[in-house]
Amino acid sequence: MRRYSAFAIAREALRNHLGWEKAWRDAQPKKHYDVIIVGAGGHGLASAYYLGKNFGITNVAIIEKGWLGGGNTGRNTTIIRSNYLQDPSAAIYEKARSLYETLSQDLNYNVMFSPRGLLMLAQTHHEARGYLRTVHANMLQGVATEYITPERVKELVPIINIDGPRYPILGALYQARGGTARHDAVAWGYARACSAMGMDIIQQTEVKGVRSEAGRVTGVDTTKGFIGCGKLGIVVAGHSGQVADMAGFRLPVEAVALQALVSEPIKPCMDVVVMANTVHGYMSQSDKGEMVIGGGTDGFNNFTQRGSFHHIEETLRALVETFPMISRLKMLRQWGGIVDMTGDRSPIISKTPLAGCFINCGWGTGGFKAIPGSGWAMAELMAKGEPGPLAAEFDMWRFKEGRFIDESVAAGVAH
Ligand SMILES: Cc1cc2nc3c(=O)[nH]c(=O)nc-3n(C[C@H](O)[C@H](O)[C@H](O)COP(=O)(O)OP(=O)(O)OC[C@H]3O[C@@H](n4cnc5c(N)ncnc54)[C@H](O)[C@@H]3O)c2cc1C
Condensed to tens digits (0 to 9), the pLDDT of residues 200-222 reads: 999 999 999 999 999 999 999 99
pTM attached to this predicted model: 0.97
Can you tell me which atom of ligand 1 is nearest the CA of 338? 53
- Name the segment(s) of the chain with CATH classification 3.30.9.10: 109-179+255-341
Task: Report the separation in Å between the CA atom of 72 and the middle of ligand 1, taken as the mean of its atom positions.
Answer: 3
Task: Report the separation in Å between the CA atom of 68 and the middle of ligand 1, taken as the mean of its atom positions.
Answer: 11
Would you say residue 413 has pLDDT above 70?
Answer: no
Q: How is domain 12-79+183-252+344-401 classified at the architecture level of CATH?
A: 3-Layer(bba) Sandwich (3.50)
Task: Report the separation in Å between the CA atom of 367 and the middle of ligand 1, taken as the mean of its atom positions.
Answer: 8
Task: Report the separation in Å between the CA atom of 86 and the middle of ligand 1, taken as the mean of its atom positions.
Answer: 23
Can you tell me which atom of ligand 1 is nearest the CA of 374? 26
- Name the segment(s) of the chain with CATH classification 3.50.50.60: 12-79+183-252+344-401
Q: How is domain 109-179+255-341 classified at the architecture level of CATH?
A: 2-Layer Sandwich (3.30)
3-state secondary structure the chain: CCCCCHHHHHHHHHCCCCCCCCCCCCCCCCCEEEEEEECCCHHHHHHHHHHHHHHCCCCEEEECCCCCCCCHHHCCCCEECCCCCCHHHHHHHHHHHHHHHCHHHHHCCCCCCECCCEEEEECCHHHHHHHHHHHHHHHHHCCCCEEECHHHHHHHCCCCCCCCCCCCCCEEEEECCCEECCHHHHHHHHHHHHHHCCCEEECCCCEEEEEEECCEEEEEEECCEEEEEEEEEECCHHHHHHHHHHCCCCCCEEEEEEEEEEEEECCCCCCCEEEECCCCEEEEECCCCEEEEEEEEEEEECCCCCCCHHHHHHHHHHHHCCCHHHHHCCEEEEEEEEEEEECCCCCEEEECCCECEEEEECCHHHCHHHHHHHHHHHHHHHHHCCCCCCCHHHCCCHHHHCCCCCCCCCCCCCC
Can you tell me which atom of ligand 1 is nearest the CA of 66? 47
- Give the per-residue pLDDT at 347: 98
Which of 297, 345, 365, 369 is the best mutation target for the ligand 1 pocket, counting ligand atoms within 8 Å of the beta carbon and taking the most? 365
Would you say residue 132 has pLDDT above 80?
Answer: yes
Task: Report the separation in Å between the CA atom of 368 and the middle of ligand 1, taken as the mean of its atom positions.
Answer: 8
Which of 236, 242, 415 is the best mutation target for the ligand 1 pocket, counting ligand atoms within 8 Å of the beta carbon and taking the most? 236
What pLDDT, in 10s, does the model give residues 236-263?
A: 999 999 999 999 999 999 999 999 999 9
- Give the per-residue pLDDT at 409: 67
Mean pLDDT (the chain) is: 95
